[in-house]
Amino acid sequence: MTKLAISGMIRPLIEPRLPEGLDVRWFMTDEEAIEAVKSAEIGWFDSNNKDDMVASLMAAKDLKWLNSIYAGLDFLPMDVLIERGITVTNGAGINAITIAEYVVMGMLNIAKGYREVVRAQDRHEWLMDSPGKRELAGTRAMLLGYGAIGKLIKPRLEAFGVEVKTVRRSGGEGALTPSEWRGHLGSFDWIILAVPATPETEGMIGADELAKMKDDAVIVNIARGSVIDQPALIDALKAKRIGGAFLDVTTPEPLPSDHELWSLDNAHVTMHLSGRAQDKMFVRSAERFLENLEKYLAGEPVAPIFDPRLGY
């Protein structure tokens, strides 16, 4: 009998639709998870505490398939996943729509100075002029990362009249390659980071890259905080060497309450909420898991596959 260890948080959405003949062990606490995963073949033990997820993985000695709602699983021990030959499906694409919408929202917010509009309302002050006068139409955006999220960002921005240039490993179709994009930074108004967190992308935006950008360029990061050299970014923002930054992700998370990023007038910190700005995340995840479970039990391939050798 196939054994599964699954978080009780998702239980209402999947239990009525599970096929018969499974040994399902539900858990609600991290302590219960450690017990439930022992001898489990299939595991879905997402937690807000990533250390607890690692502990559950380490205890799951017989695990063959690990499912997760998270798209980025770089916090898991890749060597363990590789050594044990565990098939991993992640949440790639689950939150793509809402994150793409968040990018558009962030860009419009900065372009129109909307944060200052909200603050004026709080003060009951009627503004006589707009604090932001940019139009998205006619601007240019460099999009680093063309996965599930990037593929949704591009058409949404193009609908606003933004020229979007993608960066892809293979190039083609007018895209820039990893060896080319740095030389073109100075010709873009928006630099959008939607790359996976890997050793290759860590710190990919540093002091050198920031120095090449236009003085009114805005960085939009919905990837991971680690893809930007954050101290270098803070220096550039404080010196007004770039126009601003819309940061859904930071290093660390949560950002300490006394961190200077909070108080910079050209930094917009949105607390990693882009993927949570929806009410369909768990429904989509449950549907995907049930479809994959049917395939797994039939000996068919599951998807989307997270490759621990690549880190995404």
Active site positions, annotated:
224, 253, 272
Which residue(s) pair with 65 in the sheet?
42, 87
Residue type, 149: I
Selection from 151, 152, 196 nearest residue 175 by Cα: 151
Q: Is there a contact between 132 and 110 (Cβ–Cβ < 8 Å)?
A: yes
The residue behind tokens 């995907």 is 288
